Amino acid sequence: METLGRTPFQGVTNIVRFNWHFYALAGLSVVILLLVFVLAPAPFGALALLAVAAILVPTLISLGVSYYVYDYSPLYALDWLEALAIPENGHLLTIHAGFDETSGLLARRFPQATLRVYDFYDPTKHTEISIERARNAYPAYPGTEAITTAHIPTPDGWADVVFLILAAHEIRDETERILFFNEVRRTLKPDGRVLVVEQLRDLPNFGAYTVGFLHFHAKKTWLRTFNRARLSVKSAQKLTPFISVFVLQNDGITP
């Protein structure tokens, strides 16, 4: 599926590019195991071949799913936003964790809106090397402001919609995550909404990424976070089997 502003295979290429050390290690392991298969006696050679399959099959599956999610699915086309009736001239806030693939797309889709972009990346907390590589490879969206998860420099009741697209899972500590969502709630207009797009720690993502799915949070973890931040789930849907969209609203309880 072609998306304006994105090149073909951009998503899966970035995954390999930013996590090249994993793929380099996998490739080196395969080469060594193939040498064992060729040179070692039959029982050891057969085991080496099984080990090659155990490395290649999950790797190829994860890359195939990543292509589907980040390059083929409707995720970045943003057509799925039409059903949410986002005001064309509204106040939009997008918050990311150091790698921003959506602000430019949102600006194109809502050219009359007021868009603020915040980055809560903190290298002392968010220590993944892939994020650092992504930040070095892609310049920040113009006007992006660095923030902390404890404070969003937006007035109370400013935002019609807050977008958290594949970002909030980087807040690993639950207490910090709840405080952050409390701040997000504070920025909302009375009828404002929060769009949380995430991969979940569930069976489809386990099948796609094996132990890598542990980097995501379970649905019950997200629901507990939303509840404790006094945000209610207006709707929840699967954009793909691997991507979930939660639409949140203020539950009406004031501090």
Q: Diameter of the chain by CA atoms?
A: 72
Is the domain defined by 79-250 classed in CATH 3.40.50.150?
Answer: yes
Torsional sign, CA 67, 244, 95, 104: positive
What is the chain's pLDDT, residue by residue, as a tens digit (255 residues)?
Answer: 555 567 888 989 989 988 889 899 999 999 999 999 888 888 888 899 999 999 999 999 999 999 999 999 999 999 999 988 899 999 999 999 988 989 999 999 999 999 999 999 887 776 677 877 888 788 889 999 999 999 999 999 999 999 999 999 989 999 999 999 999 999 999 999 999 999 999 999 999 999 989 999 999 999 999 999 999 999 999 999 999 999 999 875 544
| Distance, CA of 78 to CA of 113 (rounded, Å) | 15
Q: What is the enclosing helix (H) or strand (E) of 210?
A: none
Pairing of the two strands 91-96 and 159-165:
parallel
Domain ranges of the chain: 10-72, 79-250
In the chain, the amino acid numbered 46 is A
Residue 158: alpha-carbon gap to chain centroid: 24
User: How many helices (DSSP H) and strands (DSSP E) are in the chain?
Assistant: 8, 7
Angle between helices 20-39 and 10-18 (to 10 degrees): 80
The confidence score (pLDDT) of residue 254 equals 42
The confidence score (pLDDT) of residue 255 equals 41
| Distance, CA of 5 to CA of 104 (rounded, Å) | 8
From first CA to last CA, the distance across the chain in angstroms is 44
